[in-house]
Amino acid sequence: MSIEILRHPPKVSLLSYKTGTPEEKKLFIDQLFYGLKEFGSVLLTDHGVQTEKIDNAYKRIEEFFSLTDENKLKYCNKEFSGQRGYTPFGKEKAKGNNIADLKEFWHVGRELDEGHHYIKTKTYFGNIWPKEIQNFKEDLNDIYSLLDEVSRDLLAAIEVALDAPKNFLTDMVFEGNSILRGIHYPKLSGGETKGALRAAAHGDINLITLMVGPTDSGLEILDRKGKNWVPVSSFTSEIEVHVGDMLSRITNEIIPSSIHRVINPSNENKARYSMPYFVHPAPEAVLKCIPSCLGKGAKYPPITSHSFLMERLKDINLVY
């Protein structure tokens, strides 16, 4: 059966899933699955994340990136291997690409007690916070928690669509290593390496990614035939959701990973900010094929979430 090429991602209302009739819930699940499978993305409306919370988080991110390089580099800790705090401009490279992306970013991870075994074993690192920015910790933690809640609703719906065991995905992400990334794409200087993009074509490492309204356009998703790049525009009232490599792996590519990029501005040359939330399983969770997706056999052997993550961080130059 040929895959339909959608012209744009479908819009789905999370409220209809959370409070709707059984028929409305089923429609949401069907539309979510269809959009992720056939386009690689959906635009989530009525998600309950207040615009004020989103705006506050973006303000804090912009304030941080307005600091001097000297100040920003104080929060770049090599021990963290790009998993927490600041990663400077020109560090990350898309898998298989030798040219660095034109961006810098800040990572916020899950807040856990110092005595938690993930912290004690340095499987996770504690968050670090810039002292120069008021309310940075509070506002970034707020948006992290809200997107974490939305992600669990989406994974529960995907479980049903895939006929997966109940709580298969939601249990997998309990205390998961999910990351909120605040990204700054600076204005182009004119001296960029030939062929460099704000973000070269890639698939995300994780299960799903939630993106709350970036400040400018530029995001494009490769259609499912691998021929055309389709612009995706979302606003603060919407959350763009796409598929990561982990979900593709455990569904035996029934839901393929969303290959996407961020192109350079062609008209007005201005900075761009975005705030993706990368939904990760807990480190010991095993990425294995969902039974209903086996078909003629699993395409990939089981691997722990942490091992897969470490492999992929090396691929993108984030293990120092």
Predicted local distance difference test score (pLDDT) of residue 237: 83
Predicted local distance difference test score (pLDDT) of residue 2: 43
| CATH number attached to the domain at 47-315 | 2.60.120.330
Quickly tell me which residue has 């309950």 as its tokens: 48
Residues in the chain: 320
In this prediction, residue 1 has a pLDDT band, given cuts at 50, 70 and 90, of very low
- 3-state SS string over 122-173? CCCCCCCCCCCCCCHHHHHHHHHHHHHHHHHHHHHHHHHHCCCCCCHHHHHC
Listed residue (50, 35, 41, 58) closest to 214, CA to CA: 58
Instruction: State yes or no: pLDDT of 234 exceeds 80.
Output: no
Query: 155 vs 42, 115, 135, 298, CA distance in Å?
Result: 14, 29, 30, 21
For CA atoms 245, 249, 250, 251, give the dihedral sign: positive
Q: Are 273 and 56 in contact (CB under 8 A)?
A: no
pLDDT digits (tens, 9 = 90+) for 239-259: 999 999 999 999 999 999 999
Q: Side-chain half-sphere of 25: how many Cα atoms within 13 Å?
A: 12
Six-digit token string for 52: 């004020």
pLDDT digits (tens, 9 = 90+) for 104-158: 999 999 999 999 999 999 899 999 999 999 999 999 999 999 999 999 999 999 9
Q: What average pLDDT does the chain have?
A: 93
Percent of the chain whose predicted confidence (pLDDT) is above 70? 97
Q: Which residue has the higher pLDDT, 7 or 126?
A: 126
pLDDT digits (tens, 9 = 90+) for 20-66: 999 999 999 999 999 999 999 999 999 999 999 999 999 999 999 99
pLDDT digits (tens, 9 = 90+) for 299-320: 999 999 999 999 999 999 887 6
pLDDT, mean of residues 286-297: 95
Q: Are 264 and 188 in contact (CB under 8 A)?
A: yes
pLDDT digits (tens, 9 = 90+) for 70-90: 999 999 987 776 789 999 999
Q: pTM to 2 decimals?
A: 0.95
pLDDT, mean of residues 1-11: 67
Predicted local distance difference test score (pLDDT) of residue 213: 83
Instruction: State yes or no: pLDDT of 19 exceeds 80.
Output: yes
